[in-house]
A and B are shown apart, each in its own frame.
Chain A
């Protein structure tokens, strides 16, 4: 059963600490998205990769967020330093070929709480 795997599922950290979230996309998918979900803003796209190349990270606060894809089986989203306003659920999603008519498959998310 192919699925997107995210770790950790939950993370509680203190303000100022570094947070790293990991995502294993479905094998063979060439597009990876990072979304953030909050009550106020809903689902927002933070960044996406195609064939491991970062194509757009305009949705991320550049000074503290970074996204990488060191290999085809791992995508990471890092926040340094973390702030309470970063508290949200972060979703990774992957897509077979990243076209308009193909759907994204979502992981179960990482629930981040910054205190």
Chain B
């Protein structure tokens, strides 16, 4: 069965600093992985997805993530944080049963200090 683990329920960075949000996956088959962002009182919006085409995936708003099979990781990064990046971020893996439902991590809340 597929699963993801997000390390750190809260991450705090200064504006302009590097953002690093961690996600490790567990899967018996090559996974399809996703990062979503949720702003307050909003739904989830796709940031980027990994579907085996390239290990470094670029997404919206300057975010990117690198798939590392040897580390079973799919960490999300952004070189320079903006105040508007403050939100909750969810890593997800696609289930490989016929539902192809998304299995979400517990989320990481990103705080950006001025």
Contact = CB atoms under 8 A, between A and B. Distances in A.
A associates with B = yes
Interface of A: 4, 31, 33, 42-43, 45, 48, 55-56, 91, 93, 95, 98-109, 111
Interface in B57-114: 90, 94-96, 98-102, 104-107
A101 B94 contact: yes
Contacts of B101: 33, 45, 48
Contacts, number: 53
A100 B100 contact: yes
Q: What bracket does the count of chain B residues touching chain A fall in?
A: 20 to 34
B32 A101 contact: yes
Nearest to B48: A103
A56 B99 contact: yes
Nearest to A109: B43
B44 A55 contact: no
Contacts of B25: none
The 9 tightest CB contacts between A and B, nearest first, are A106-B43, A101-B51, A43-B104, A100-B94, A106-B44, A108-B43, A100-B100, A103-B46, A101-B32
Contact of B43 (A55, A91, A100): A91
B44 to A, nearest CB: 4
15 contacts: A4-B43, A31-B100, A33-B101, A42-B106, A43-B104, A48-B99, A55-B98, A55-B99, A91-B44, A95-B100, A99-B100, A100-B96, A101-B49, A101-B52, A104-B102
Interface in B8-50: 32, 34, 36, 41-46, 49
A111 B98 CA distance: 29
Given A100-B32, A106-B36, A111-B41, 11 more contacts: A42-B107, A48-B99, A98-B99, A100-B95, A100-B100, A101-B49, A103-B46, A104-B102, A106-B43, A107-B43, A109-B43
